[in-house]
Amino acid sequence: MIKQSIKSAPVINTPSAGDTSFPDSASLSNGVPVYLIGNGTVDLLRVEFVFNAGQRTEKVPLAATATNAMLSEGTLMHDAVSLNELIDSTGAIINHIADKDSASLVAVTLSRQLEEVMALASEVLFQSSFPEREFRIMQEKRLQAFLTSRQKTSVRAREEFYRALCGDTTSYGRVAKADDYKSLTVEEVRKFHSDHYTPGNMYITVAGHNPEQALPVLERYFAPSEAIPWQDPMIPEMTFTTARPGSIFCEVKDSVQSTVRLGWKGITRDHPDYQGLQVAAMILGGYFGSRLMRNIREEKGYTYGIHAVAGAFRNIGYITIMTDTANIYREATVGEIRKEIKRLREEEVGAGEMAIVRNHIMGEIARMFDGPFATAESIRGIIDYDTDHDYYTHLAETVNSITPGKIKELFITYFNPEDAFEIIAGAP
């Protein structure tokens, strides 16, 4: 008699997210907070200076991004060419960027070059000269890039979504115009810089090998005795005029494809449902094996990729689904998106799918804290939005404990088809 062995299904163990603890912190003599992220094995340091100088602080359109873009275009001591040659001679990489809520400068350097690089970073941040010629060149480049973007369906659909969500009287929802680029003056940029690029309006993160070594250097260059002491920035509340739900069509002539966006007003990071909503969005369209990817990409072939995101600015949250598709498939794509949402509002997710999503999110969290540089980028979301320091620990707990019943409840609450903005940008 031949005995048959019965094999049980393999047990799927959810991996650990690893160490997601908030880093140690110190402060300079003027009170500027410094967050220290260690455990680096390479003799490199990543130093980031973050200012409350994003688009939400500007009174003149484009002032925040233009000011940040001009930082390394010349200082009181060096013209643009000499300044960038000095930076290159140190072997350091210095980048700067401004977004809706903040602006920053990041310097990555060998430890032995730290003194020289921090001296240059201080010069770039606080002694920029904003020369007229370089400003005009930058202004023309940005205008041309803006005009080119008018033919990109993804850009137009994104603009229309944030305008519907936030209202065009806010910096989150306002859409720039060509005249904004043409009318901005160098005096307005200099004013924005003097108002917002001060030691008292920033914090610093230092990541890498032995980050404490940076403290005395930072003290020399970023804690001037005459500076106004640092204080926790007062960020005014913003009044949003969210549009009524419905369909929005944005014409982009001669486009060979369309961008489809469905979206809702969401919740902010301090809401008790926010972390569960991250899991729900992942199931719908947050990874390669998600519901939307399996249906619309693999089965229907309407698109190469489709994504669902639940996020938040400082005062308003959002949920959005976005994809690009051929013009002939855009209505069908919207229909399939709505079909998948309907299923998740009516049926609970199975145990196997929940296990896959849990593993995926835990792996993502682990990657976010894989090394000091990645950790430094990840903790900015905690600092910038005054989130609980245990945010990622709590997220891991939510991922492990959330039930299919709760997922269904979240879809019923936050993915109501009648409350959606349905945006299509493309050819008529």
Does the model's pTM come out above 0.85? yes
Which of 138-152, 215-229, 248-262 is predicted with the least confidence, judged by mean pLDDT?
Answer: 215-229
Q: Strand (E) positions, 75-209?
A: 93-98, 103-110, 202-208
Residue bearing the bigger pLDDT, 390 or 237: 390
In angstroms, the Cα distances linking 340 to 273, 283, 304, 344, 349 are 21, 11, 18, 6, 12
Phi, psi of 355 (to 5 degrees): -65, -40
Which of 14-23, 213-222, 330-339, 388-397 is predicted with the least confidence, judged by mean pLDDT?
Answer: 14-23
| pLDDT the model gives residue 225 | 75
| pLDDT the model gives residue 397 | 95
Domain boundaries along the sequence of the chain: 24-222, 246-426
| pLDDT the model gives residue 1 | 42
Give the DSSP H/E element, type plus range, for residue 310.
Answer: strand 306-312
Residue 229, number of CB atoms within 10 A of its CB: 11
- pLDDT band for position 14 (cuts 50, 70, 90): low
Specify whether the CB–CB gap between 214 and 47 falls below 8 A.
yes
Q: What is the pLDDT of residues 32-84, one digit of tens each?
A: 999 999 877 788 999 999 999 999 999 999 999 999 999 999 999 999 999 99
pLDDT of 262 above 90: yes
CATH of 24-222, one of 3.30.460.80, 3.90.700.10, 3.30.830.10, 3.40.50.2300: 3.30.830.10
3-state secondary structure of 91: coil
| pLDDT the model gives residue 286 | 94
- pLDDT band for position 6 (cuts 50, 70, 90): very low
Residue 359, number of CB atoms within 10 A of its CB: 15
Specify whether the CB–CB gap between 321 and 263 falls below 8 A.
yes
Q: What is the CA radius of gyration of the chain?
A: 24
Q: Is 167 left (phi over 0), alpha (psi -120 to 50) or beta?
A: left
Percent of the chain at pLDDT exceeding 70: 96
Specify whether the CB–CB gap between 415 and 408 falls below 8 A.
no
pLDDT of 267 above 80: yes
* Fold: same for 24-222 and 246-426: yes
Q: Are strands 202-208 and 33-37 parallel, antiparallel or unpaired?
A: parallel
Q: Is the domain covering 246-426 a CATH 3.90.1150.10 domain?
A: no
Q: What is the pLDDT of residues 109-126, one digit of tens each?
A: 999 999 999 999 999 999
Give 114-119 contacts, CB < 8 A, sequence gap 24+: 114/45, 114/213, 114/214, 114/217, 115/217, 116/90, 117/47, 117/87, 117/90, 117/92, 118/47, 118/214, 118/217, 118/218, 118/220, 118/221, 118/222, 119/221
